[in-house]
Amino acid sequence: MVVIGGNDESRLEPKRFSSWLRLTIIQAWIYRFVNNCLLPSDRRAKDELIFEEIQDAEIRMIKAAQKRSFKAEYSALSSGKPLPMFSKLLTLKPRLYEDGVMRSDGRLENAEYSVTIQRQVSHNIAKKRVGNETESKVVSSARKSHSNQTLEMLS
């Protein structure tokens, strides 16, 4: 994926979307469009969005929101300095991860399990969240399809 310079701030209003997933997918399509505009036509992405594009859009939106809401904290963590003493995040012990997102050292990080197991648990939780969204859409479309078949049989 081509990295776009400049402000990573989204122009979309999150309040106008019915779900986080819908907002994230639309933002991913916008990033895809901008990236495609910068590429020659033979190298442009033409298929459906892939998981990495949706995940990238989500991370970029989270980073932008964190930078906007916690300017001093984000700045301190990104420059390797301690958090300001007045910070409301101080007790959460936030860290800046390699993807640029602030995360709290919570129960999972403090558990007496290896890092591999901790990451697997995190991955399974995220996978379940995405899976449930997808599963509900599949069930919904199956119900609509079944209803249409029933109506066709009756007419």
Q: Convert the pLDDT of each residue in 85-122 to its tens digit.
A: 999 888 888 889 999 999 887 665 556 655 555 455 55
In this structure, the answer to whether residues 30 and 62 fall within a common structural domain is yes
Containing structural domain, residue 150: 106-155
pLDDT at 52: 93
In this structure, the answer to whether residues 76 and 99 fall within a common structural domain is yes
DSSP codes, 24-35: HHHHHHHHHHHH
Count the Cβ atoms, other than its own, within 10 Å of residue 44: 13
- Identify the three-state secondary structure at position 94: strand
In this structure, the answer to whether residues 59 and 75 fall within a common structural domain is no
Q: What total number of domains does the chain contain?
A: 3
In this structure, the answer to whether residues 111 and 84 fall within a common structural domain is no
pLDDT at 40: 95
Q: What residue ranges of the chain have pLDDT lower than 70?
A: 1-10, 106-155
Whether the model pTM is above 0.75: no
CB 61, CB 24: distance < 8 Å: yes
Q: Give whole-number Cα distances, 8 to 29, 30, 45, 74, 136, in Å.
A: 15, 12, 21, 15, 31
In this structure, the answer to whether residues 99 and 113 fall within a common structural domain is no
In this structure, the answer to whether residues 10 and 52 fall within a common structural domain is yes
In this structure, the answer to whether residues 154 and 117 fall within a common structural domain is yes
